[in-house]
Every structure is written in C-alpha cells, then in structure tokens.
Chains A and B, each alone.
Chain A
Amino acid sequence: MDTGEPRTLAEDLRARDDTELARLLRARPDLLTPVPNDITQLATRAATRTSVLRTLDHLPAFPRQVAETLAVAPDPCDYGTLLVLMTGEPAAEEPGESPGTSDGFAEPLDPALARAVTQALPRAVATLRDCGVLWGGEERLRLVRTARDVLGPTPAAGSGTGLGPSVGEATAGMSPSRLQEIVVDAGLAATHDSVSAIGALTGLFQDPVRLRALLAEAPEGARAVLERLVWGPPYGEVRDATEPVRAAAAATPVQWLLARGLLLPAGAHNVVLPREAALTLRGSRAHRFPEPAPPPVAAVARTARTVDLTAAGQAFTAVRTVTELLTAWQTGGPPVLRAGGISVRDLKRTAATLDLPESETAFWLELAYAAGLVAADGEVDEAYAPTPAADVWSGQPAHEQWAALATAWLATTRTPGLVGSRDAKGRALSALGPDLDRALTPQVRRTVLALLAELPEGSAADAEALLARLRWERPLRPGADALRADLLRWTLHDAEALGFTGRGALAAHARHLLPRPAPQDGTGEGEVAGRKGRSRGGRSAASGVNSAAAYDRSVRSGETVPGDPRAAAAALAPLLPEPLDHVLLQADLTAVAPGPLVAPLAETLGVLADIESKGGATVYRFTPESVRRALDAGRTASELQAFLTAHSRTPVPQPLSYLIDDVARRHGTLRVGAASAYLRCDDDAVLTELLADRRANGLGLRRLAPTVLAAQADPSTLLERLRAMGLAPAAESADGDVLISRPDARRTPPRTAPAPLVDGPPAPDDALLGAAVKAIRAGDRAATAARRAPSPREGGLPRTPAADTLATVQAATLAGESLWIGYVNAEGSATQRVITPTRVEGGYVTAYDHTADEIRTLALHRITGVSALADDPA
C-alpha cells in the first residue's frame, strides 16, 4: 500500500497535476464557490451528497452505467473485474459451456458490442475520475462513498443495474437459526456462525457451476420466477415472504427458491433475488444493454443554399413579427396581471393583431421580453410596453436585429411552450408571467444546435434520433425526461421560426452564434477526434462524428469560444431581401409591396392603408377609413397624392386618387371644439341634417347659429358618434386650428433584459481556474506543513483546524477507527473523549463514546480537535 497508491480521495486529488485539477473544477464549478482552502477541503466538498448528485446527474449514459456498475461491484474494484461486469464473463475461457449463459438466462453480449464497451471503458473511467467521483489506481478503483450510496440498490429506489442487495445485506435482519436452515437446504455444510453462513451462500451463488447444478433440481416454474427477476427489478410480490419454509415442505416454485436462499424475504409480502445470484445468472453482466457509444444522429441531406435561404426568410419574418409586436404595443400594451404576465384575453388579442396562433404569439412575446424589448412599465396601473432598448433595436438593420433576438433566445431560460399549461398547483401559466423559467431549456437548445452543427453542412436530423441522443448524453428522471422531450420539440420549432434552421438544418449564419471548441487544448483524444470529425464534416459519415465528441462536450469539454453575433449578422445580411422604395398601386385600391419596404415608406403606408396580407410581400388596402386616418394624422390630400405618385412604379389609378380627394373633400367639413364641445359647419344643411338625425339624440345637439352646433357630450364621444354616423369631423383647438390626432409612443423606464436562470454557478474561466488551483495548492501546503507539527501534548486537548477535524472524523467513519477528541460541552467545560464515529451528518457526529460507554451525538463545532489513537482501544 505504500507504493504511492492513494488512501483517500484527498490524497488522490493531491497527486493530480494542475491540468487535471482544473478539469475537475471545470466539470464541477460548484466546488469553487467559495474557493476551497486546501485539497482536504476540496475533497470533503467533492464528497457531499448535493455535489455528487449534481455531478452524476450531468453524466452521459455510459459513464453513468460504469458508475452504477462500480456501485454494485466490490469496493475497491480492479479494472479487470469492472470490465467483466460490463461485458460479461469472457466466453473463451470455457468454450462450449460458458457458465451462466448456457442456462439461457442471459444471452452473451454481442461480440461487436462487447468490443465497443471494452474500447469505451477506459475513457468512461477517465471521465468519472476527472469529475472526482472515482479515485484510486487501476487495481483499486474506488467510487466516492456518497456516489456508491446514491447509485447502489436500496429497497426504496432500484439501481440502474436492476440488481438487488447482496446476500449479506438481504439477510441482515434474519435470525441465525433461519439462516442455518437455508444453508442446509441449499446443500451446504452446516455452520453455527452467521458470518460464515453468509460467506458460504455467497460462494455458492457466485460459482456458476454449483449454482447451475442446484438449479437443475428446481421444480418447473422456478426458472420462470428467476427469469422475471434476473434483469430487474429484483423484487417480487408474494403472499407470505417471511414464512420459514424448509426445502422438504416447499410446495411452490417460490417456496423452493425461498428455502434455498435464492429468494430472500424483503418485507412481509416481498422477496428479492440476491445480487450475487442475479449476477451469476446474468453471466456477470451488470447491465443488460450497455450503451458504450452514443446513438448516431443520421444526417438528412438538404441543399445548403436552400437551407440558408429558407432560414434567412424565416429570420426576416422573425424580425418583422417582433417589429409588429412592438408597434402594436406602441401606445401601451396589455396590463400586467396581479400574479404577473398577461391575461389569456390579451394574449388572444395580441395573437389576432399579429395574425398568428396563440402559441406562436407567446413565443414571440417571450422572445421580445427575453431580448429586453418589452417589459412592465412599473406604473401604478402596471402595463407592458416597449423599453427604450426597443427604440435602439428598431433603428438597427434587420440582420443585426436578428442577431440580437437570436442571442437572447439562445441564453434565455424562458420557456414559452409552457404557456397555457398548468403548474403543480393547477394555476395556468401565462405568457410573460412567472414560473416560465426552466434551467433545462437553454441546455437542450445548445445541445441540439451543437448536434446539428456536427452534422455535415445543410443536414437536418430526425427528431427521434435527436431525442435518443439527448437521452444518452444525459439520462434524466422520467418527469424531467418528459419535459425534455417537449423542450426538444419546442426547440426545433422555435429554431425554425427564428431562422436558426431552415428545413430542419442549421443555417450558416446561425453557426456563428454557437460556441465552438477552442483551437488549442487537445489533451483528451476524444476532442481531437471530435474536431477532426467536424473539420471533415462535409464528407465523413455522420456516425464517426457522433461517437467521438460525446463525453467531451458534456464533461470534459475544453474551453470554448463563445458565439459571435456580429459574424452571424454579417453572414445573414446578404441573404436578406433588399428593402424596396416603391410599391405597385392597383385599381382595386390595393398597393402591393413586392418585398420589404424602407422604414419611412412602410410607416406612412401603414397609416394610409390597412395591411391585408403579409409574407415576402405586403398587400395594403386603401379604404375611406385608412385615408381618413392619414388625414387625421396631419397629411393633406395633395401630399398624399404626391407621396403615392413618388413611390408607385405604376400610374396612380383613377379610383384611388378619387378616393383620396373624396375623403379629403369631406374631411374636416365638420369641426368639433374641445373646450366647449361645439360643432360647426360652413354648410348649414349638414347641421340641419345632423339635428334631424335621431342617431344624434344622445349627443344633446343644439343649433347655435346657422353654421354652429353645441353639444352636451364631450368632444371625443362626439367625434366618435359622428364618425359612427358616417361623417368625417375634425377636432379643432381653442383657437381654431385642426388638432392632429397622432398618439405618442409609450416607453417603460430603462429596463434590463431578464437574466437567465442559472443552473449551478457559472463555468469558471481559465484565469479563475488557475488562481483557484494555485490557492488550493498553497492552502494545502500550509495544511500539510502544520500536520507535521508534533502531536498534541500529552494530557492537553488536541487542536486541529475545523476542516481537518471534519476530514479526520469522516475518514475515521469510513475506516471504522477510533479517535481522541477534545470536546467542549454546553456548559463550556472542556473534556477529552475517545470516540468511534459511525455517522457524520448535518454538523453532528454520531459516535460510540468509549469514555461514557454509549452512543452519543456530538456537535462538530464543539470538537476542538482530533487526533488518531496510537493503538486501537478495541
């Protein structure tokens, strides 16, 4: 053991070089907050349950399978044993009658698959080692204790291997006499010692030849029972599991098995197949279906040019849709609900304005919100409105607008797909409301886009294949997995809507937005292969690309260069249609803009005409109302005529100029005063007509002079009613000028875009990693130096730093050693004790106190120091 084999995780970590430590910290950034003082502290933190869970949760399928295997393997486990557990007993050893497998319980692993497993195993072990859940040399692989607990089989949660507890664990509560009966019934020599009885049973179950001989005598049906349990779940339900059945009295197959310990009781109505027996029956394999390589994502070829053009078209639509949304909310958007978000009715209304389905509308709303373009205004009657940033955004060229939206989408945790569904409390989730953030969302987006980026240019992928791949790269609990399947669907849809992809394939301009691996750094061979695959991209078979880059991205990922929005915008720019400065006017009172229009032209036309159809082109329709709107906005008929003549490729049709003149002729004939609500008209017949009209009754009109009427109603109602009657009045100010009704734009106070919800601390950069490693080294050197100081004075209280105390107590717990501690009790008096700790949890040590001769719970912070005993008191 003195050959440099580390004895603890801390020692193992201490032996690693700086690059390896940096890799550990990159894989587990949570260990860095705060930066640990020394390696001991780092190792302690790396073994905490939360951190280990988080790490295991991020492992790809194969390393996870390896970790699961190690959790059921002997501790420590040598590499050879592990390999056998992964690939099964090599058939070559006993040709013809390979043990276990010849029973037909388990087909031997497909040789090709076995080879793949053999090939992939070193890297999976390296991955586990890199992320600090595995330590020790090749011959003594040790899983961190917490990981073993988490992954190992427990009655509450089965292991991923489908294996049950070992014979020892399963017989823990059994009476010695019953154990004796089982040993005898199994055909073994009787022994009075429970420990050797368990040993004998284990030995029997682990020996394929003897086990097969035993099973050969089994009655019909016993085999079927075993077959059901062998690949897990290992628990089965029976009527009475605890009844002590003797071999002679066994009536049913289950009783036959129970009598011989091949099934052991696990509660009143449950039996379990012990791990050793199951493993032997499986041919020593821990997993039925090892998944050494990620499932390939086949490329579906599309033309790169078509992909880019389609995506660009969609990108343009995206920018236009957001612009429309901002315009629609220009004068104040919908009110904010008390719980946050907008109401279903407002969502419907916005959807109608944008002429989109509600689900799509929610997507665009959330996108604009994530990009910081709309926000709540914070007034008393809180409502949504564009932010000042929206004005900046609106002034940018379309390709930059798109890049801004795309960057926001990549990072945001907002998940618009959830809008309309209900949360756990049954409340409907509303657009822009709370509870729409999911940490998984940007992860799925990034992974999917990265997968698409690995395919040859202009290739789409099948959604099912992508899902299988995601599942391999990060197995999730069923609930989260269902969410991820949804997220994948939404991601593919949103990416298409936003112009990231065209016909399902990643567009060239979107490629620039994705983070790429840094050009240098190439310690992991996987990375080299991955990069090679990528650079060969165009020609190489997709499967080659797929298998290589897998772990590297998720765990060992090297530095990446972040996406470059500017390059993306530049790549997109030439694909977008050039804005036009003309339209085609037609006699059916429409104007067709055969492409996007320059902003000023679009704005004026938007006032002068109603938009009838959108897409690559825009169809505008002129109506009396729209022309009146333009006149209301302060334009004159001659201005409008000149505007149309200037911007039309075709002669202005006669009906259109007639329409403008006709509306202008009537426009402003009636004038409405704001101060005292009067109505005047040079044509007294109009007033007479108006007075006679019964629809005007509610207005309280009264003739003041031949050309002037007074009204009781306020001017705005009056205007409205008169317009409803088909008249075209104009508002007038106190000194007789025509009031121009052009609403002011509404803005929130400056708002920042919502920060994406982060899953764990941010990935540390190289500078931080370097500094952290240095700091840990320095602290560790100090700690190690202090340790060399003489042991506590005889009779005095031992004194050690808190971190050391914890580490020593934990080490003792694992090793079952006794410690000499100094302890300050609640009254403040210091005592010395000798304890054998059994559990360290939540700041307390549960230990057998040799001084008091009882189990005590001691507060860790009251322990002044610890010291190992020279001799074990036991």
Chain B
Amino acid sequence: MSCLIVQSDKTLLLEVDHELADACRRAIAPFAELERAPEHIHTYRVTPLGLWNARAAGHDAEQVVDALVQYSRYPVPHALLVDVAETMDRYGRLRLAKDPAHGLVLTTTDRPVLEEVLRSKRIQPLVGARIDEDTVSVHPSERGQIKQVLLKLGWPAEDYAGYVDGEAHPIDLRQEDWQLRPYQQQAVENFWHGGSGVVVLPCGAGKTLVGAGAMAEAKATTLILVTNTVSARQWKHELVRRTSLTEDEVGEYSGTKKEIRPVTIATYQVLTTKRKGIYPHLELFDSRDWGLIVYDEVHLLPAPVFKFTADLQARRRLGLTATLVREDGRESDVFSLIGPKRFDAPWKEIEAQGYIAPADCVEVRVNLTDSERLAYATAEPEEKYRYCATTATKRQVTEALVAKHKGQQTLVIGQYIDQLDELGEHLGAPVIKGETTNAQREKLFDAFRNGEISVLVVSKVANFSIDLPEATVAIQVSGTFGSRQEEAQRLGRVLRPKADGHEARFYSVVARDTIDQDFAAHRQRFLAEQGYAYRIMDASDL
C-alpha cells in the first residue's frame, strides 16, 4: 500500500503519516500545487501551470508519470497520464530567442504549432516578418505580450532571449551576526539559476532577505515594488541593516517622496496613480537601467503593473509571495510575465524547522442579544455584515480576550474604523488606520516593539509587510468579507518566531448565526487547509 491516491479530477491525495510520504512529497512537489494541508491527508492539484512550472525547472513528463505511477496506491487513470504527457509536451515547442541578425525571434521545433499560433488574431499584431519556416520575428516591445497570449493559447513559450545586465552597482550581504537560512539560500540560487520567477514563502519566513540575496547576486541597480509606504520603509530598513547598501543608496518613490537612487523602492499605489488618463509615474521604469526588479506580494500585483511588466521582459524579475492563489484568478499572468515558480516551501515545514512560530487558532462564537438579532434581521442586505461584525457584544468579548492575555503583546485587527475607534477607546489603546501619518505609525510600531504599549488596534493598513516581532496574540474582529489571503496575512502577524518560543494565539471573534459566521468559515477553511487546525469556543466559556 503506497501513500498517494490519484483522483480522476487531477487531485493527488497524500497520506502524510505514511512512511513514504516524505519521499513522495518531494517527488510530486515539482509539478503539483499543494492545495490543502490538513493534518492527515494533503491534497495536491496537477494543473497545466504546475506542469509547465515543472518543465521550466527541468523536469520532463517521464519523471512526472514515473512519480505518479510509483507512489500511486491504485492504478493511475491512463487518460490522466496521457494528459500530463501532452500538456508538458506543449511547453517549449515555441521559444523566444535572440537572433544576431533579426533581434527577438520566435522559433519552433514543431512547425504546425507555429502555423497554428500565427493564425491567431491575437498573435498577428505582435509578430513581424517570417524569417524562415520555423522562425518569425517578434517586435521587441511585445516580448511580454506574446508570452501572455501564447500561454492563453496553451502553447507557453520558453524565454531564451536573455536579460540585460543593467547598470552595475555593488551590493553585498553583510552576514556578520546572522546567516541566510538554508531555504532562503536555496530560493536565491533557484531564482538566479532560472533567470526570472516567483519564490513562494509563508509570511514571516523572511522573503525580504530572499530579495536582498537576489540583489547581492545581481549586483545591479534594483527597482523594488511594494504594497505600501510602511512596507517600503521596512524594506529600506532591512536592506540598510543586512547589506552593504547605505541610507543614501536606497530611495523611496511614494506619494510623499520621489527619490530615484541605485536601489529604489516604489509603491504599487504611486505607480498606478492615473492623471488625465495617463500614468505619470510610469517613466520610473525607464529612469534607470535597472538590472533587477523585485515584486513584493505578487498575488496583490495590480492589473496596470502587469501591463508595465509586459514591457520589462528583458530585465530580471523576482516575485515574492506567500501564496500563488489570487482572488482574481490571474495566476497565469504571473506565470507568463514574472516567471514560473522557482521555489516553494510549505508553511508547516518551515514551522517545523523553527523559523516561524506555531499558532493556536481559535474562533470565538458570540451569541447576539435579542435586540441585536432583531436589528440584524431587519438590516439592509448590504449592511448586514457590517452590522453583525461590529455589534457591541463582540466588542465586549474582545475586551474580555484582551484582558485574558493581559501583559502579552496583542494586536486587535479590524475592518471598520468606527468599530476600531470604539475598541481603542474602551481598551485604552492607540489606533492605527489609514489617516494615521506614516511618522505616527512608525512611532507607534516602535513603541509596540519596545513593549511600551502592549495593545495596538490596527485597521487593514497593517495587513501587509509590517514587522511586529513580538506580537503573540492577534484578535480579529472583522475582515474584508471572506478574503482568504487577508486571513493568511493576518495570521502571519503572529507567526514570527517568539523570543521565548511559546505558542502564538490567533482569535477570530464571530457573531453566531449571522453572515459573519459564513465568512469566517470561508476564511478559516483556508487556515485549516494550511494545516492550522482551529478550535471553536463559545464566548460564554471565556
């Protein structure tokens, strides 16, 4: 009896307690995406993107089929094996290359495929003259576009056209009092070897350092795209601390500052600001001869940035993210424009190595009072969530939770500002929200880090990329409806390893029998699938 079951819907079920499970996981990880990782049986999914990722990483169909056949408990459906082989075979039939005479060209090893794609209306405007039967020239500006379209047509092209080196700039890691962790080192190597691509690491696993490592390899001017200003400051802080770069070499390009330095950190927001129908900050991409572009939180990359990225195919690109799951389903754009997945480590594995803290997830169910239930029932549909998420009963339970964990660094996270203000007032804690100035934010974060204040109430501005190493308790009172990826980010707030190694707590306060409960179920399913089993308790048991 082996440990893997291949399902007809192309999911793979892996029994984790099986003695062969570890070997099997290693064999299937290159081509199958881990979809769910609850305690006993992990679910992987075989998708075309996954198979192409595997091809990009140098695996061939035979290895994939072998892995499936070797570890499968039951006979593998023949149709699935054929499908795997056919899908993988599609990758690399077309390749983009640099021709000394004609510049960027699209070549093929299989002429009918080239004929097929050239007949597509969407390809025609992107290509130039036919050079010979197997080769057609491509407008250099359309390198990204054509990769995107080819992927949509099901014939992903391998990009051999190479990269420009960019303007050289010395960058070194200063590993005096710290070391890159083995998996970070591995991620950097895989990325550099592959040229461009995405590194998937859980929150708190040190993605910033992977970025720094990549920059140290590139030794060139670098453009870093991050989600918001706070995150930009943190990047800058980390880079100055961990590398040979100095304050002056790192610039910030945001709503408030417009510095362009050898290493420039820009926010998505400023790039996607539109004035009179144009993106005025777009020239940032051309302002220097960048050798490396780093995309932080790739799964949040806004649509316009994809468009710019399409024009940057000659530069090395590194994507960093905790999850390839995008709520908008644009995973294929990430694949074609930034690159295939180059490194992936499951959350639990890194936790087992002690690099992130274990967490205890608890859902607290709150019974609404009769009058609250009545008000909820009569609320307008669009107001229902807001109402049940911000009831007074929930506030009381939150206060009780904070009291219970008195003395521990506690974050209270919510969606609705008035609720947060009210909570802050009742808890006597400062509130960080959108209107809080960056200076004020940093001041408060510092105070929180130093333990001067032990409770901080934050809105969704704190969802991303702020480093709060000593937060041990997070209490979520409301969220962006059922967003799974927000849940992952918030859990990440408490997953940084603790000085004393004790367990982190992650509470969700949920109003029973309301839409709040449904959303919570959706979000928590994601946690459970990541292996974070949660408990449910009644507020009355607190």
Contact = CB atoms under 8 A, between A and B. Distances in A.
A619 B15 CA distance: 13
Interface stretch (A116-124, A182-190, A387-395, A609-617): A609-617
B38 interface: yes
B282 interface: no
Interface in B503-531: 513, 525, 528-529
Contacts of A614: 7-9
B11 interface: yes
B500 interface: no
A353 interface: no
A689 B73 CA distance: 53
B73 A594 contact: yes
A584 B40 contact: yes
B530 to A, nearest CB: 9
A692 B374 contact: yes
Nearest to B69: A306
A654 interface: yes
Contacts of B535: 654-655
Nearest to B13: A617
Contact of A503 (B78, B370, B534): B78
A177 B71 CA distance: 89
A312 B78 CA distance: 12
B36 interface: yes
A690 B528 CA distance: 34
Given A615-B9, A694-B378, A587 B74 contact: no
Given A313-B77, A587-B38, A617-B7, 5 more contacts: A590-B38, A615-B7, A616-B6, A650-B40, A689-B377
A765 interface: no
Given A587-B528, A614-B9, A692-B374, A655 B536 contact: yes
Interface string B71-95: 0111111100000000000000000
B533 interface: yes
A589 B9 contact: no
Interface in A593-635: 594-595, 613-617, 619
B247 interface: no
B39 A692 contact: no
Interface of A: 306, 309-310, 312-314, 317, 355, 496, 502-503, 577, 584, 586-590, 592, 594-595, 613-617, 619, 650, 653-655, 658, 666, 685, 688-690, 692-694, 726
A689 B534 contact: no
B5 interface: yes
B373 interface: yes
Interface size class of chain B, counting residues whose CB lies under 8 Å from the partner chain = 20 to 34
Given A584-B40, A587-B534, A655-B536, A502 B7 contact: no
B6, B41, B75, B77 pick with most chain A CB within 10 angstroms: B75
Nearest to A577: B74
A161 to B, nearest CB: 39
- Sorted nearest first, the 4 A-B pairs with minimum C-beta distance are A615-B7, A588-B528, A313-B75, A616-B74
Contacts of B513: 666, 726
Contacts of A587: 38-39, 528, 533-534
Nearest to A666: B513
Contacts of B74: 313, 577, 595, 615-616
A617, A658, A688 pick with most chain B CB within 10 angstroms: A617
A857 to B, nearest CB: 65
Nearest to B75: A313
A692 B377 contact: yes
Contact of B529 (A355, A588, A592, A666): A588
A685 to B, nearest CB: 5
Contact of B40 (A310, A314, A592, A689): A592
11 contacts: A496-B78, A502-B78, A587-B534, A588-B529, A594-B13, A615-B77, A616-B5, A650-B39, A653-B533, A689-B374, A693-B377
Contact of A613 (B9, B39, B370): B9
Interface in B24-44: 36, 38-41, 43
Contacts of A310: 75-76, 78
Nearest to A690: B377
B534 A655 contact: yes
A809 to B, nearest CB: 63
B15 A594 contact: yes
Nearest to A313: B75
A365 B9 CA distance: 21
B374 A685 contact: yes
A364 to B, nearest CB: 14
A692 B378 contact: yes
Contacts of A693: 377-378
Nearest to A688: B374
A502 B378 contact: no
B75 A309 contact: yes
Contacts of B378: 692-694
A586 B38 contact: yes
Contacts of A313: 74-77
B362 to A, nearest CB: 10
Contacts of B9: 355, 613-615
A592 B13 contact: yes
Nearest to A321: B8
A594 B12 CA distance: 11
B14 to A, nearest CB: 10
Contact of A615 (B5, B15, B40, B78): B5
Nearest to A614: B8
B511 to A, nearest CB: 13
Contact of B528 (A589, A616, A689, A726): A589
Contacts of B13: 592, 594, 613, 617, 619
Contacts of A617: 5, 7, 13
Contacts of B77: 313-314, 317, 615
A246 to B, nearest CB: 56
B5, B6, B374 pick with most chain A CB within 10 angstroms: B5
Given A589-B528, A592-B13, A594-B15, A658 B41 contact: no
A586 B532 CA distance: 11
Contacts of B6: 615-616
Nearest to A497: B79
Interface in B52-77: 72-77
Contacts of A690: 377
A587 B531 CA distance: 8
Given A312-B75, A586-B39, A654-B536, A594 B5 contact: yes
Contacts of B15: 594
A314 B6 CA distance: 13
Contacts of A594: 5, 13, 15, 41, 73
A620 to B, nearest CB: 12
Contacts of A692: 374, 377-378
Interface string B224-256: 000000000000000000000000000000000
A586 B8 contact: no
Contacts of A616: 5-7, 72-74
Nearest to B74: A616
Nearest to B11: A613
Contacts of A502: 75, 78
A496 B79 CA distance: 9
B162 to A, nearest CB: 42
Nearest to A503: B78
Nearest to A650: B40
Nearest to B524: A655
Interface string B354-371: 000000000000000010
Contacts of A685: 370, 373-374
Contact of A586 (B5, B40, B76, B536): B40
A650 B38 CA distance: 13
Given A587-B39, A614-B9, A615-B6, A689 B78 contact: no
Contacts of A314: 75, 77-78
B373 to A, nearest CB: 6
Contacts of B373: 685, 689
Nearest to B369: A685
